[in-house]
Structure 1
C-alpha cells in the first residue's frame, strides 16, 4: 500500500474508536479527557527514573545546549528527564493545564521553556524548528497521521522520535466495554500501522520496543474510576466495575508494550 492508502486506513481505523452517540450522550464527564494530575505523576516518575529507548534516541541526537521540540508534551515526561542537555525546550500541547505542569517542572530543573498551546500541526509555524522533535503517546489522537509526521520531520534539523503504545491505549478495556455495553471495540490501528506509514512517506524508520516502565494503575480502585470515566459509566458503579474486572481476571492489568520509532532528518 502507498502512503495515501495507509494514511486513509489509519484514519478509518481510528474513527472506529468513536463512542456510539447514544452511549456518549449519557456520559457524566468527557470520556476522552485527560487528568493533568495523573500525567504529572507519570512525569515525576520519569524524572526520578529516566531511561528507555525514546530518551536515549533523543539524547544521542541532541547537542549540548540544543533545542528540543516536544509535541503533545503533557507535563514533559519525554523531554524534561534530559534537562541537563536541553538549551531550550519548546512544548506544544492542546491543554493549558498540562503546559502549566510542565512549566513548573522546567523552572525547577532550570530549563528555558517556550510553551505553545494548540494542536499540531496547526501551530507548527509558531513552534518553529528544533534539533530534535519528539512526540510521545500522541498519534492515537491523530486522524491525519501523514500530515502530522511530515510536519514533525519538517521542523526537525537532526532527528524525529515518536513513542506510542503497541495497541490503542484503550484496548485493555475492551472486555469491560463488551460486558457493560455489549460493544466490541476495534483492534486497529496498532503501532505497526504507524511504522508502515512513516516508511511509506520515505522516512528511514528504525524501531525499538520495550515493556512500559510503569504500571497502568496502582490499585483496583484507580482502575475502576478510570473505567467509569472512559466507558461513560456513573462513578457510583466503581465498586461493580472493580468486582467485574476481578472476576474477569483483568487485575492486575498487564503492562503495555511501548514502541519507539525514529529517523534522522535528511539534509535538504
Structure 2
C-alpha cells in the first residue's frame, strides 16, 4: 500500500458507526468557535511556535499570505505586521467573519474566500507564502490538496498539524461510553511520508504548544465532548466525571479534538503554477 493510500484509509477509519450516529441527538461534528477565537487572540498577542517562526522567515520582512482553513486567524494574523495582503480561505462563514474582524483591527489588507481547498483555488491569486494549520486530518485526498498548496506559493508552504490525530484524545471515552476502539492514526509522520511520495520533501519541526484554557468554563468542554461522543444532554454529568478521571483540569479546560499540544510543522518550497 502506498503512503497516500494509507493516509486515506486511516482517515476513513474515523467514520463513526452508523448505529451510533443514528441515535445521536445532535451532530457529533462539533466546530467549537470559542476555541478558534480564543486561540487566535492569544497567538496574536503572543506569537509562538515553529509555524510562526517559519512564516516570519519566509515573508522576508514583507509579503503576501494565503491562509487555507484560516479559522479566526491563529496561524497567519500573529505575523500581521509583515503581511502586505492576506487571503483567508475557510468553509465556515462565521469563522471568516471572526477573521475579518481581527484582520481589520490589525490594519491588514485582506480578502475572504468562502469554500473548501482546492475547489476554490481557481478564485484565489498566488501568494508569497501559503500557510495551512490544523486542516490536514480533514483531507483524505491529499494529492490535489498538497499540489495546490505548492502551486499557489511563490516562496514557501507551511503546514501545521498535531503530531497525532487530535481525536485520539477522546479514544478512551469512546471505549468507556460505547465499548468500541477508535483508530490511532494517521500521524504527522504519515503525512510527511505521503508528501514525499508526491515528490515533496518537507522540513520537519516538532514543538509543543503551551497549555491554555480554551474554554471559559469546564461545562463548555463537557458539552462539546458529549456531542462528539454522540451522547444525550442527560449524560453531561457522566462525561464530566470521565473527563476528571482522565486528569482534565476543570480550571484550565483544553479542547479535546481540535488540535493537540504536540505539534509538527512541515514546510517546503513553493512552485507557482499560475501567474505571479
Secondary structure of the residue that 1:46 maps to in structure 2?
Answer: helix
| Aligned position for 2:208 | 211
**TM-aligned CA distance change 1:267 to 1:142, over 3 Å:** closer
- Confirm whether residue 175 of structure 1 aligns to residue 180 of structure 2: no
| Aligned position for 1:107 | 104
Please give the alpha-carbon distance, in whole angstroms, between the structure 2 residues aligned to 1:83 and 1:20: 43
Q: Which has the higher contact order (CA 8 A, sep 6+)?
A: 2
In the TM superposition, what whole-angstrom CA distance separates every residue of 1:184-221 from its partner, at most 9, and x where no partner exists? 00011011000111122112211011112234655543
Please give the alpha-carbon distance, in whole angstroms, between the structure 2 residues aligned to 1:137 and 1:127: 20
In the TM superposition, what whole-angstrom CA distance separates every residue of 1:203-243 from its partner, at most 9, and x where no partner exists? 22110111122346555434322210211111221111111
| Aligned position for 2:23 | 26
Q: How does 1:113-262 map to 2 (within 5 A)?
A: 113-215=110-212, 217=214, 220-247=218-245, 249-252=246-249, 256-262=261-267
| Aligned position for 1:73 | 70
Q: Assess if the C-alpha contact under 8 Å between 1:129 and 1:155 holds in 2.
A: yes
The alignment of Structure 1 onto Structure 2 pairs a total of residues equal to 264
- TM-score normalised to structure 1 length: 0.93
Secondary structure of the residue that 2:166 maps to in structure 1?
Answer: coil
Please give the alpha-carbon distance, in whole angstroms, between the structure 1 residues aligned to 2:80 and 2:23: 43
| Aligned position for 2:45 | 48
How far is the alpha carbon of 1:30 from its aligned partner? 1.8
**TM-aligned CA distance change 1:217 to 1:182, over 3 Å:** farther
Q: Assess if the C-alpha contact under 8 Å between 2:151 and 2:272 holds in 1.
A: no
**TM-aligned CA distance change 1:36 to 1:227, over 3 Å:** closer
Please give the alpha-carbon distance, in whole angstroms, between the structure 1 residues aligned to 2:115 and 2:157: 20
Secondary structure of the residue that 1:143 maps to in structure 2?
Answer: coil
Q: Note the residue ranges of structure 2 that are not aligned, 5 or more in a row.
A: none
In the TM superposition, what whole-angstrom CA distance separates every residue of 1:51-88 from its partner, at most 9, and x where no partner exists? 21101101111144411000000011000011100010
Q: Assess if the C-alpha contact under 8 Å between 2:205 and 2:264 holds in 1.
A: yes
Q: Assess if the C-alpha contact under 8 Å between 1:228 and 1:234 holds in 2.
A: yes
Compute the RMSD of aligned alpha carbons: 1.9
Secondary structure of the residue that 2:211 maps to in structure 1?
Answer: coil
Q: Note the residue ranges of structure 1 that are not aligned, 5 or more in a row.
A: none
How far is the alpha carbon of 1:246 from its aligned partner? 2.5
Secondary structure of the residue that 1:12 maps to in structure 2?
Answer: helix
